[in-house]
């Protein structure tokens, strides 16, 4: 493959990374030019855009490409050894559990038949077991750290969202459609797939 072919291939990779990073408008503007013109100025623009996006993420201003970092409230609003459903600004909801000072943000619905987990039991675990939530309907139990099933009948785990406490405020990285209340909470394996896809962008090094 010649230098021109290698440049085009490299540019296509850069386009994909920009799209995964959620900065699709830049590739959309630049794509027609790729077919005809010198790619170097375009590569510089895309690299700058990608660098800026990754810097914003590193500063915690945004979550990952597919999530939005939102505040769920002051940590003092959450009682120890309990769970509480939190409505987000757009109308969606998540369930916040607090055990031994640690916070877990999960889907509010069971992965089996969607029963409201807030009516179940949130537990710190014991005898070396993980903290869990148990569904009120058929007793499925989920690990609050991973969302995985600890006890059936559910075969799918629940979504557990990345959370962080900063200056006394609890934040979580939630997909925007869930913040807006227009989407359905993914199951644990669907959420893992989503992050595997976007992590290619988040963790990759920017091409110089
Ligand atoms: S709906 Fe939760 S275990 Fe069936």
The 10s digit of each residue's pLDDT in 133-143 is: 999 999 999 99
Q: Which of 106, 107, 109, 110 to mutate to test the pocket of ligand 1 (most atoms within 8 A of CB)?
A: 110
Q: Look at residue 40 in the predicted model and tell me its pLDDT.
A: 65
Ligand 1 atom at minimum distance from 153 CA: 3
| pLDDT for 103 beyond 50 | yes
Show me where the domains of the chain are located. Answer: 3-61, 68-199
Expressed in angstroms and rounded, the spacing between residue 115 Cα and the centre of ligand 1 is 6
Mean pLDDT across the chain: 79
pLDDT tier at 189 (50, 70, 90 boundaries)? Answer: confident
Q: In ligand 1, which atom is closest to the CA atom of 113?
A: 1
Phi and psi at residue 179, in whole multiples of 5°? -60, -40
Predicted pLDDT of residue 155: 94
Cα of 117 vs centre of ligand 1, distance in Å, is 9
Residue 207: its pLDDT value, please? 32
Percentage with pLDDT > 90 across the chain? 46
Instruction: State in Å: Cα 136 to ligand 1 middle.
Output: 7
Show the ligand 1 pocket: residues with CB < 6 angstroms: 110, 112-113, 115, 135, 137-138, 140, 153-154
> In the structure, what pLDDT confidence band is assigned to residue 105 with cuts at 50, 70 and 90?
very high
Nearest alpha-carbon partner for 121 in 102, 152, 144: 144
φ, ψ (nearest 5 deg) of residue 101: 80, -5
Task: Give, for ligand 1, the residue of 107, 111, 137 to mutate: max count of ligand atoms closer than 8 Å to Cβ.
Answer: 137
Would you put residue 139 in left (φ > 0), alpha (ψ -120 to 50) or beta? left
Please state the pTM of the whole predicted model.
Answer: 0.65
Instruction: Give the least confident one: 89-103, 118-132, 154-168, 193-207.
Output: 193-207
Distance in Å, CA 37 to ligand 1 centroid? 57
Q: What local confidence, expressed as pLDDT, does residue 199 receive?
A: 47
- What are 40-87's pLDDT values in tens digits? 666 666 667 666 656 655 554 444 557 889 999 999 999 999 999 999
What atom of ligand 1 comes closest to residue 110's alpha carbon? 2
CA-based nearest residue to 83, from 107, 110, 118: 118
Q: Using one digit for the tens of pLDDT, what is the confidence trace for 4-52?
A: 566 666 666 666 665 655 555 555 555 555 555 566 666 666 667 666 6
Nearest-angstrom CA–CA distance, 141 and 158: 10
What pLDDT is attached to residue 36? 58
Write down the pLDDT at residue 184.
Answer: 87
The CATH label, of 1.20.1270.10, 2.102.10.10, 3.40.50.720, 3.40.50.300, for the domain at 68-199 is 2.102.10.10
Ligand 1, atom 1, residue with closest C-alpha: 113
- The distance from CA 92 to its chain's CA centroid, rounded to whole angstroms, is 15
Q: 3-class DSSP state for residue 165?
A: strand
Query: Residue 172 in contact with residue 69, Cβ under 8 Å?
Result: yes
Strands (E), 15-146: 68-74, 82-87, 93-99, 102-106, 121-123, 132-134, 141-143
- Report phi then psi at 64, rounded to 5: -100, -175
């Amino acid at each position: 493959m010649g230098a021109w072919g290698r440049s085009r291939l490299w540019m296509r990779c850069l386009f994909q990374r920009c799209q995964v990073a959620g900065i699709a408008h830049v590739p959309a503007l630049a794509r027609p030019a790729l077919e005809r013109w010198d790619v170097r100025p375009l590569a510089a623009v895309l690299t700058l855009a990608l660098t800026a996006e990754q810097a914003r993420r590193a500063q915690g201003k945004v979550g990952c490409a597919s999530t939005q970092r939102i505040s769920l409230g002051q940590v003092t609003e959450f009682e120890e050894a309990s769970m509480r459903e939190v409505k987000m600004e757009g109308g969606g909801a998540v369930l916040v559990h607090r055990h031994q000072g640690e916070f877990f943000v999960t889907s509010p619905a069971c992965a089996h038949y969607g029963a409201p987990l807030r009516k179940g039991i949130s537990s710190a675990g014991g005898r070396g077991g993980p903290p869990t939530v148990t569904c009120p309907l058929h007793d499925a139990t989920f690990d609050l750290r991973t969302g995985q099933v600890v006890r059936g009948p559910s075969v799918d785990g629940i979504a557990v969202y990345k959370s962080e406490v900063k200056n006394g405020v609890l934040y979580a990285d939630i997909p925007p459609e869930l913040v807006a209340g227009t989407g359905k909470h993914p199951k644990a394996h669907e959420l893992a797939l989503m992050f595997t896809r976007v992590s290619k962008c988040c963790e990759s090094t920017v091409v110089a």
